Each structure stands twice: as structure tokens, then as C-alpha cells.
A and B are shown apart, each in its own frame.
Chain A
Amino acid sequence: MSVNEILLAAGGALIMAFFSMVGGLWFAGIDRVLAARMQARIGPPVRQPFLDIAKLMIKQNVVPANAIPWLFNGAPVVALASAVTILLYIPMAGIPGLPILQGHGDLVLIMYLLILPALAMVAGGLAAGSPYATIGAQREMVTMIAYELPLAATIIAFAWKFASLGIEHPFSLATVAAQPVWTLVGPVGFMGLLLLLVTMLLVVPGELGRIPFDAPEAETEIAGGLLVEYSGRNLALFTLSLAVKTIVVTSLIVGLFFPWNLTDILAVACCATTAAMINLAFFILKLLVVMFFSVTLVRISVARFRINQVVDVYWKILGVLALLGMFLVMADALF
């Protein structure tokens, strides 16, 4: 990379960071309003998450006496930075110039990067020096191990499909975006992909630590778990990283399963800017729909799983579903 490109990428990353935080908080507000409406409540204003962040910023930032200060204060920054970094690899609605790090990473890298924010939370929890936070950190690690199997099976199925057709760079998200995977399979593979979609939608709450997979934070039993000792600015940073992560995982699902653009479907032949704006609006709409079905609807419908049930659900049910989906996609090629 030349100096110019690096500067461009750095500037782009800052802009992305800003928009992903604003967008993520806006999504969190919509999530809370939708949840309230489903419970026949009025609910908070959509800007409530912004008010929460503004409030957390003026609060005292307590570092407990038992904590390791550099790790305790560093973990929230790492969590937010790594969440924003993943977003730099995920294509968005075919808008030119996005993703900023196009061609530098693939699905395997994204899978590994997705671990980073959770790992930062674990490090912060262990550094807090509170028994509740330690239990939360252990549960978070178990949850990470649990949802990795269905996630990996889905990504392998995608890569296998593209590799078997002789398409170059089967692990690249740009490849998936160029050719929606639904168009490449027959009826058997279609069923397999449906199973994979359901699996991925249920990996999202685990990835984000939302109900029913919020055992690491379980407020009613371990008092907030990982975040029990965090307050003020550090808690705000963790909230922001969670908001950005919502955008990341929903755009990953949209990128894998629904890469269509509105301008392709409607064949809008207009100037590039208008097309990009239409595509961006449609992309955000897709993210909202995915968030509704994978986060809001799930968290309103069910209660929290115990940590051993989390592992059971992810390995015995969703793991088997994902493997079945993978085999169906593979079997599809035989017919």
C-alpha cells in the first residue's frame, strides 16, 4: 500500500467507526421500542441508547482496588476497536469504496476477528477482580466455544459450494456478494441453505450476548457478570462495542444470505450516487429485518438458558442442524 492508500483507509475507518456507532445505537433504540410494543408497552424513545451513553460519559469511572488497571481500562477500547475493524472487511450493498479493506481479508479472518470483542470482554472481566465477573468471563468463553461450531459449519458450507463450482477465492465475501448462493443450488441445496440461515440467525444472540444466550451477563443471578465492576466511560465503550457488533453480525448474515441490491432487482439505471443511496437504504432495511428476527423476536419470546443448556443448544441442536444443512448443500451437487 502506498502512503496515500493508507491515509485513505485510516480516514475511511474513522468515518466507518462514527457511522457504525451511531447506526448501532439507533438499532439498539429500535430494538427496545419494538420489544416494548410486543409487550403492549409504549417503550423508551428511539434515542434512549444515545441518552444512556451521554449519561454514562458523565458518570464516575470506578476502577476497583482489586482490578488490574491497564487491562481493566484497556479491554473496552480493544472491544470497540476490534468490532469496528471487522466492519472494514464486510461488503455493504455494493457501494463503491466499501469495504475499506476490500481484498485484504476473507470469511476465515472475519470468523477469527469476531472472537476479539468477546475475548476483550473476557479479559476485562477477569481483570476486574470480582468473583461475579470471573464467573461471567468463564461463561462467556464457554458460549464462544459453543457457537463456534454452527458458525464454522455454515462458513465451510459456503466455501465448499463456491470451491466445488471452481469459482476463484471461495472464502471471499465479495464472491458471495457477486453470486447469491441461492441461485447456485437446486431444491435439496435450497433446504440446506434454509437450515444454515436458521442456524446463523440463532448464532446472533449468542454472539451479542442477548437473551436467551446471555448467561455471561445474567443480571438476576450473577449481577451483570462480565460487566459487574464496569461503570461510567468503560461501560459506555462496552455498550458501543456491542452496538457496533450488532451491525457487524447482521451485515455478515445479509452479506452471506441476502446480497441482492434493490437497483439490480428493479434495474434502476440512474446516476451512481442515487443508486448507491437506494442500495444503502435497502441494505439498512435488510439489517433491521435480520435484527428483528434474530435479536428482538427471540429475546421477547423466550427466557434465559442455563450455561449448560447454551452448550446443548449450540452443539446438539444447532450444530447438528448446521452440519445437516452443510451435507444437504453438498448432496445437492450430486444430483
Chain B
Amino acid sequence: MKLSQTLGKSLWAFLFNSGSCNGCEIETVATVTPRYDLERFGIKVVGSPRHADILLISGPVTRKMAPRLRRVYEQMPDPKIVLCIGACGTSGGAFYDSYTLVGPVDQVVPVDMYVPGCPPRPEAIIDGVVKILARLEAAEKSA
């Protein structure tokens, strides 16, 4: 994966719900509201995975959603980053032993960063994105 500083300064995000209860969606959408103003960092939400650099996944990945999640991940052009939002995607959360689950998320697609919480606050989501940006910059320096 070729990394670049410009990638970190213009992250376009695509939101994917893999069977979440919508709690994480509400918090994720709250993150892009004027109060938190993610556009300051060049981050914006796009409508197509083809335009996206970072995939924000919420939910524990149900049996029906697993092939769709894999497909959306493959539709994103390289280089791409995956951020897993919420306890469900991290570990299965409250639904860890459900017969409908294929996931957690990292059983289906590779994950770069986890944001725990049920649901995580917008500050936590921003912190996750910032940590990814810091990692991108470190990778750029060492390369």
C-alpha cells in the first residue's frame, strides 16, 4: 500500500452499517456536524465507496451483510484505510455468541484501527481518525 501525506490531509469517508443497532451511526453522523467540524481536517463523507479513502464500519457483521461488506471493501480504490466503530464490530459486543454473526469485522475485512464504546462518543471517533493520521505520517517518514 502506497501511503502519502496528501492522503492524510484529504480523507474521504464512506459509512457502512454491517448490522448495527444505529447507535454508532447516530454518533458517526454527529461527528460530521458543524459542532465537531471534521472538514477542518479535509475529511468529508462521500456517497460511493469508489470515492472513499477510509471505510467507517459499525455493527457486528451479520451473515447477510458479510458478502456486502467484503464487496464494498473491494470496491474502494487503493490505498484504503478501515476504521471499526463500536464494541460490536470490535468483539461482537452484546451479540458475541449470536448464530447470525460472521464477524467481528476483522474476520471479514482487515481493520486498521478500532474505536471501542457502545456507542463511542464523537470525540472517540475523532481520536481514532487522528491516531490513523499519525500512523500514516509515521509510515511516510520511515518510508
Q: Residues of A with Cβ closer than 8 Å to B?
A: 32, 36, 39-45, 48, 51-52, 54-55, 58-62, 132, 218-220, 222-224, 227-232, 235
Contact = CB atoms under 8 A, between A and B. Distances in A.
A213 B48 CA distance: 19
28 contacts: A32-B39, A36-B39, A40-B34, A41-B37, A43-B37, A44-B40, A44-B42, A52-B10, A55-B10, A58-B2, A58-B4, A58-B6, A58-B7, A58-B79, A59-B79, A61-B77, A132-B48, A218-B47, A219-B48, A220-B47, A224-B48, A228-B47, A228-B48, A230-B51, A231-B77, A232-B77, A235-B50, A235-B51
A45 B34 CA distance: 15
Given A224-B47, A230-B50, A51 B40 contact: no
Contacts of B75: 62
A219 B10 contact: no
Contacts of B10: 48, 51-52, 54-55
B126 to A, nearest CB: 14
Contacts of A62: 50, 75, 77
A218 B78 CA distance: 24
A45 B42 CA distance: 8
Contacts of B2: 58
Please provide the 6 A-B residue pairs with the shortest distance between their CB atoms, ordered closest to farther: A219-B47, A60-B77, A224-B48, A54-B6, A41-B37, A231-B77
A227 B51 contact: yes
Contacts of A220: 47
| B contact face: mostly helix, strand, loop, or mixed | loop
B78 A51 contact: no
Interface string B4-33: 101101100000000000000000000000
B86 to A, nearest CB: 22
B46 interface: yes
Contacts of B50: 62, 224, 228-231, 235
Task: Indicate the member of A55, A219, A222 with the most B CB atoms within 10 Å.
Answer: A55
A55 B48 contact: no
Interface residues of B, number: 22
B48 A227 contact: yes
A44 B79 CA distance: 22
A209 to B, nearest CB: 14
Given A41-B37, A43-B37, A52 B42 contact: yes
Contacts of B37: 36, 41-43
Nearest to B36: A41
Contact of A224 (B9, B40, B51, B53): B51
A52 B78 CA distance: 15
Contacts of A40: 34
Given A61-B77, A224-B48, A235-B51, 11 more contacts: A36-B39, A44-B42, A45-B42, A48-B42, A54-B6, A59-B79, A218-B47, A224-B47, A231-B50, A231-B77, A235-B50
B9 A55 contact: yes
Contact of A41 (B7, B40, B47, B78): B40
Interface string B71-102: 00001011100000000000000000000000
A219 B46 contact: yes
Contacts of A36: 37, 39
A32 B39 CA distance: 9
A313 B34 CA distance: 30
A230 B40 CA distance: 25
A167 B137 CA distance: 63
A40 B10 CA distance: 21
Nearest to B41: A44
